[in-house]
Each structure stands twice: as structure tokens, then as C-alpha cells.
Structure 1
């Protein structure tokens, strides 16, 4: 094993990293699992440094396209990013998967890798990354629905003007024309990024001069929904996941009380910066504790 100095950027090894495929990386993980790299910092540190260099050389998310081969490769990267404790990479890969996958997201094992026992525990990947994908749908639905839902409520109660039904119909018609609506159908067949891309073509020429609700800028409402959805999830945070786990032999049953927001942020001690939504999805402890911590944070914000 090379030392971290031997594999520093600019060394002779760096150009050769491109020749190392993902299957080899999984074999390194298998060796690390067998010889307990995580328990030996003299082995773990250079292994982590090696993977960081390999990742930088071989993974360019900006060039990723949501085809089958690329999606499979991204799913194969989840375990290495977690095993080698690369928080930036793990967040980036899980974010890409949540936004670009269609249907249920799972890990993928390289075809030539035969040690099937290696995988992430469901609470470390499958559960939270699919939770994240579902939350993106919820965020998008809320953004597309709230204003028109308010219009429908007012119209059905006789509060809106006579144009409310026509306005709502034209709005839903424009969404349906883009094949985005209803989300229950479109979400099961398309990735969130695909739907957001289609919504970029949304346009409703609102000629109706009626009440305040009918005269809403529906183009702006849709753009706002797209913007909020794109910024909703920053990828899974390894640090939040690790801190919130109930570890074997832990004597402090109230450990979770020490995991509240610091200076209004849940990522104060994390190696990546992220919003509350990422903390929420990354939480691996009991749901009731997560809710209490979020309630405490919101209560503090109301007092400020």
C-alpha cells in the first residue's frame, strides 16, 4: 500500500488512476473489509486518500447523463464513497441518484465482482435515498398545487370571481400538455430532473382579468416550484447519518438531545454544508427524536 505522500496529486500514480475500473475499487473494499482497514488508521488513511484521487480522476458528475450505463455506475459508487469516508462524493452521488433515477433506487454490484456480501445497510442508502426522491416529489407537488389549490377552495366556496374554474382548467391543461400532471402518473415513469426540465417549457398566457387569485402569475408559480425542488436536497450526509445512529453499547440513551441545531444549523459540525432537508433525510435514529429536534429549531427561529 502506498503512503498518502506516494499518491499525492501530481505524483506518478495519478495519471494511472484512470486505468483502474470500479470493479477493482470494489476488490479493494473487499480487502479492506477483510483486513479491517477502518480499525487501522495506518491502512485507512492512505486507502481513503487513494480513493479521493481515483474519484477525482474517474468521476465527473457534470458529464453524467441519465442513461442505463451511467445510472448503474452511479449506483456502484455509493458503497465506495461511504466505505472510504468521502463525504463530498457520497453527498454528490446520492443527490445525483435522487434527482436522476426512475423508480426505486438500489445499489448495484459490478458484474465481475463475486463477493455478494458487500453492500450498504438499507438505513445507510436504500431507505434514505428513496426517502429523498419521494420528498422531491412532495416538494414539487406542493409548489405546483398550493396556489391553484387555494383558488379552487375559494371558488368552490363562492369567494373567487366567476373565472376561477376556467383559470384552474387552463393551468392544469398546460401542465397536462407537458405530461407533468398528474404527478402520481408522471413521477413513476420519469426522474425528477426530467419533470423539472419539461416544466421549463411551461407557459400560460393569462388573459383573464378577474379577482386576485385568478390573476396570479402562473408562470412564476411554476418557476418557483422548480427552483425550490432543485434546491431541496443536497445529498446524504455521512456525518449526520453516523451521529444519529444508535450504536451498540451506547450508555447514553439521550444522546440524540446533543444533536440539535447549533447557531440555527444542523450541519455545524459536518464536513459538508447542507440544508435542513438533507439533515432530515440523513437521520438514522428514531423518528420521534428527529421530530423533537426539528420542533426545537423552529421554536427557536420563531423567537428570534
Structure 2
């Protein structure tokens, strides 16, 4: 058992992989908690796919792929924030429009850039075993900045997520905090691309937070549980990848999904089995539990 735990750490590339994967799990767990609380998981999918044209443009013009993806993702997120201010359109509708447009643009650019398939594969599925020391530093710095920003803006982000109209009445700049959250989601996704790839990054952002949402009615506890689950899922997935010689990104996501399924069944108050416990006054799902969560979450 000890040999199994220590063996991967003998290799420098595995040490870098563990650091980046676990840091990504922590950052995505914190930012994902706000995404799940707000019910905007679709924005994570939209941003993760909207980096596609940026990566394609970066390849064509020979500059850093991650930088190109970050710029494209940020522009898409800001566009969604601007257009979603129109009350005639729901946020998920605007997200759908820009999600499709960004992916379509990426396909058009890709069709004009022969020889892109190799770079595209690492972008789609991650390249966590090829991470450099510079990549580790970038993820560490960007992740630390994100966590500090999330802590500083926590109260306002929660207020906007729970009740936008009340937030406006209290003088909270809703539009500004929309942009802040979309920007944080974009950065969290970009720094996690090397760990799990473009296709699977949404799972790292949403699944640990969804697990935490099932396990607790308190936002503070959720903010602790989600990054812990994300970090442990990343670590276990990498151990399995090393042992079984299978894709690291896919295994990280499958471990997180397995945790979600366990929480969905066995969560003390909101799991499937909790619904069949006779006389459990603490239980309850649906409107009552949601109201309790919102009351407990109010800053």
C-alpha cells in the first residue's frame, strides 16, 4: 500500500501532474460552488468550448495556445454578461447563442489550418503528464489570485446569486459582479485545461460542487467540501492512471462522478435513501430544504 502511494512521486513529471491537478481541483471546487449556487452550469460548458476559436487563432498566428484560449473565453463570458442584462432573454438562452457561435467560429478557423490535429488532441483531452515547471507556477499564481478574489467578493456574489432584484435594491452592482464571476469561471477553466482537457473540464468545475450541495445546507461548509472533493478526485484519478496506464483526465472525472453518485444515494439529508427514512424530521428535499439553504447562505 505504501509503495502504491509513494511510487508515482518518484517521477518528476508525476509530481508536477499531482500539483496541477490538485490545485485545479481546489480552484474549480470554490468557483464551481458559486456556479452551482446560481444554477448556471451551462456557462461553464459555454466558456470551455468558447476557448476553442482562441486556441485555433493562436495556432494559426503562432502564439501561446493557452493565452489565445483565455482571451477567447473571457470575451465570450463578457459578451454573455452584457447580453444577459436584457430581461427579455434568459441567461441560459444567451449562453446557448454564444456557445454555438464560438464553437462554429473555431471549426471554421480549424478548417483553414492544416496540421492542427496534434495540438487539438492535447487541447481536447489534456496533457497533464507533459506539464512543465512553468505551467505549475502559472497555475499556482492564477489559482491563488482566483481564491483571493473569491474570498473578497464572496458576500456580494452570494447576494447576487440568491436574489438579483434584492441585490439591486441594496445598491449592489449586479452587472459588475456578473462580469467578475464569469471572469473567474473563465480563468478556472483555462488553468484546468491541461489537467482534464476541454471536453471534460466542465465536470471538474461542476461535479465536486454538486456533491457538496447534496451533503450540506450551509454555503460555508459547501465551500470547504467542494474543493476537498475536487482535490481528492484529482489525486485518486492520477493514482489510478499511473497504476492502470489509462487516461488521467478521464479517470479524474470518473472518480468525481463516482463520488457524486455515492452522495446522491447516501447523502444524510438529501440522498435517495434519506427520503425513505420514517420520522426523519431533519430530512426534507424540495422547496423546504431549498429555503433553509438560502436562509443559511445569506451573508
Is the structural similarity TM-score above 0.5?
Answer: no
- Point out which structure has higher relative CO (alpha carbons under 8 A, 6+ apart): 2
* Bigger CA radius of gyration: 1
TM-score between the two structures when normalised by the length of structure 1: 0.26
